[in-house]
Amino acid sequence: MAVPTFVDRVTLHVAAGRGGNGVASVHREKFKPLGGPDGGNGGPGGSVILRVDPQITTLVDYHHSPKRRAEHGGHGAGAHRNGGHGADLVLPVPDGTVVSLKDGTVLADLVGAGTEMVIAQGGRGGLGNAALASSKRKAPGFALLGEPGDELDIVLELKVVADIGLVGFPSAGKSSLIAAVSRARPKIADYPFTTLVPNLGVVTAGEVTFTVADVPGLIEGASEGRGLGHDFLRHIERCAAIVHVIDTATIEPGRNPVDDLDVIENELSRYGGLEDRPRLVALNKTDVPDGSDLADITIEDLRARGLTVIPVSAASGAGLRELTFAMAKIVEAARAAKPVVESQRIVLRPPAADGGDDFTIKATSEGWRVRGTKPERWVRQTDFSNDEAVGFLADRLNRLGVEDRLVKLGAEEGDTVLIGHPDNSVVFDFKPGMEAGAEMLGRRGEDQRFEESRPAAQRRRAIDELMDDRGENETRADVARRLDRPGGPMSYEIGTSEDPDWLEDDPGE
């Protein structure tokens, strides 16, 4: 299997580092066993950053290693020691790299040395109990968890930043032309499709220095995937001008310079986006007698179309000076009209799909779904094995107004409330009036508000008990409806001696 040396499109999985957890700690020393909370904060996770590096010309490294992850943040510690910051992961990319999602949504176009983009933001570190202490909660017995970093699949697509693009049929002499006007040394042979990847050369004409790139394997039908041109046409999208390199000494029957020009122009038109680029026509191989005669015959027809036509020979050098200065003139005009691109650091902040910092509540078949940046972040930071931490979450949601909004929308005690994306949401039973108001008395890590059984939990247990004795065609929904009818189990406390006699009846009757 051949190992590619030039890769211009890759799918990359990037993952930022997770934030470190905060710690719950109490300061202790001799004769002072309870010196107050001193738990440190967790450090933020490292971010994944794309940075344009002029020394990089291919995406082959990411072809071989398509998964990249930044460092996690360090956990906090006692004595007010904060966790370390996770190191950012900087990924160098070539100049002219387009970053997009797998669905085709373009995120950024990275042009200019040093331009950066934060493609995956590191997770926040969790607060320690020292940072959570307040006048109402003097000694928190909990800390917040670190948030996970962003994780996504992106597509990196390289579009070579060249000033002039050479297009033409295979073996028209594009590689020879680049070798003749620059120091580039591409592979040159006398068979079609010798060039398998775009060649790039630097050309100097007077005081203007510019780059020239060719599109290999452009033939009729390239816009539909024939040949190699379809894969590399993107590399001339940034060019200031297009130069048609036409073979005047071809031995293929039925070909002539005018028809070749029409075929290539048709493919460029079908590809789209190149209609406004200036055109030059280089009639190559005029050192061959038949080629010189054919160039003389067709040059006036081409100029009648308003094209600048220059007979050249990559082998003898004839016409190359005139061609390079014609290209330099176009490049100089394009640069003068183009604003200067400065290096910039781009922070990716896509539109929030969760309601933003505020929140939204929507009634669904599963329950009341709450979406919002703050509620979802707070849920991710909560240690649900610690009742005091869950109580702190309830207080935060109440202060944000989630409880009041639920009541206004008609939510009743015991209703199911889901916070977060449907694929990864946290489920609660709605119980209004959960705000503590002051520090709860009890052992650290406990919250007396969560000691009593919740109505929704009682109802689920009652349904589970009746499911074993349900009728032959009775579903769980039928059992739930029977459970809710007047005089049913939900009108008394489950598990007490007050259970009505009808629970012992045959459910099929």
- Binding residues for GTP, as ranges, are 168-175, 193-197, 214-217, 284-287, 313-315
SS3 328: helix
> Across the strands, what pairs with 212?
164, 201
| Closest by Cα among 86, 240, 245, 234 to 159 | 234
241 with 229: CB under 8 angstroms?
no
Token pair recorded at residue 309: 């036509």
Q: Where are the alpha helices (DSSP H) in 355-485?
A: 373-381, 387-400, 402-409, 455-467, 476-484
DSSP E strands in 7-112: the ranges are 9-15, 48-52, 67-69, 89-93, 97-101, 106-110
> For helices 402-409 and 387-400, what crossing angle results, to 10°?
70
Query: What is the CA angle 121-126-132, rounded to 5?
Result: 140
Annotated binding site: 168-175, 193-197, 214-217, 284-287, 313-315
Buried b (16+ CB within 10 A) or exposed e, 454-493: ebbebbeebbeebeeebeeebeeeebbebbeeeebbbeee
Distance CA 211, CA 201 (A): 6
- Angle at which helix 373-381 crosses helix 387-400, to 10 degrees, equals 170
Residue 344: CB atoms within 10 A of its CB come to 13
> Per the annotation, where are the binding residues for Mg(2+)?
175, 195
449 within 8 A of 435, measured Cβ to Cβ: no
Helical H segments across 256-349, by residue range: 257-271, 289-303, 320-337
The distance between the two most distant Cα atoms of the chain, rounded to a whole number of Å, is 113
Residue recorded with tokens 């041109």: 229
Closest C-alpha among 260, 278, 303 to residue 172: 260
What string of DSSP letters covers 356-372?
A: -SSEEEEE-SSSEEEEE
CA dist., res. 373 & res. 358, Å (int): 7
CB 15 within 8 A of CB 48: yes
